[in-house]
Amino acid sequence: MSIELESDTRKSAARLVAAGLSALGRRGLDLLLPPQCLSCRTIVAKPGLLCAKCFSEAQAIAPPLCRSCGVPLSAATGVSGIAAIDLSCGRCLAEPPLFARARAVFVFDAVVRELVHDLKYRDRLEGRASFGAWLANAGAEFLPAADLIVPVPLHYFRLVARKYNQAAILASAVARQAGRRLAVDALQRVRATKSQTGLSVEARARNVRGAFAVRPRWVAAVKGAKIVLVDDVLTTGATANACARALVKAGAGEVSVLTLARVKEPM
């Protein structure tokens, strides 16, 4: 018994020493390369944060919002934020999306655009933990019941050009934060599509129609599952709808969408 206690004491001491050295190393690194704001590069207390100014300027999404697509609703509706959760925007009333609901952390404004572009194009991944926490908060109404967290996939050629899929980075972060199962390759983009930037609503839908499919090895897991689809930005919902169509076709029970940002007023 005494030998076991001594061994446990040594292990505890070793862990404390390792933690102390790690903290010392982080402090030394911070002195050499001070952590910067994820958006404006101002020095901040810890890596992966927004400075006070950028955080105050970023528009966090809160009720009232459309219960389907999550777009912020006009204050002119004259209802409280709690009641407005049961409302749908005009677009969703006219043509309900194939996904059950979509939620986002921020409005896609100037501050958040830099945040997303840094993640997407400039290899800035230090915000992963913060992104995961923000996404988990935005998706709190459906994440606890999720069976699978699935990122919107990139086509192989685009993945090679970018080196990583930003949606997969976000999906991994929120899956870790929420303690849910990550299915990073459950969806595949079966054909290359041109960029959605600058396209009309109709052109966006045509561009991604039939572009996604569930990989055969994930079909059994997808069938009947509650799935959270993760992407960086929701614009018109065309990509999310195309992905939801593929998941539902494979037997998914429900698809919810979670993004870091969304445009305030879709085109």
> For residue range 113-126, what is the model confidence (pLDDT) as tens digits?
988 999 998 888 88
Q: What is the mean pLDDT of residues 138-145?
A: 97
DSSP the chain: -HHHHHHHHHHHHHHHHHHHHHHHHHHHHHHHS--B-TTT--B-SSTT---HHHHHHS-B--SSB-TTT-PBPPGGG---HHHHTT---HHHHHS--SSSEEEEEEE--HHHHHHHHHHHHS---TTHHHHHHHHHHHTTTTGGG-SEEEEPPPPHHHHHHHSS-HHHHHHHHHHHHHT--B-TTSEEE-S-----TT--HHHHHHHHTT-EEE-GGGHHHHTT-EEEEEEEEESSSHHHHHHHHHHHHTT-SEEEEEEEEE-SS--
The pLDDT confidence band at residue 38, using thresholds 50, 70 and 90, is confident
Give the pTM.
Answer: 0.82
For the chain, domains (ranges, CATH) are 53-63+97-262 (3.40.50)
User: For the ranges 28-32, 157-161, 164-168, which has the lowest average pLDDT?
Assistant: 28-32
Tell me the pLDDT tens digit for each residue of 79-98.
Answer: 444 544 568 888 899 999 99
Q: What is the mean pLDDT of residues 157-174?
A: 91
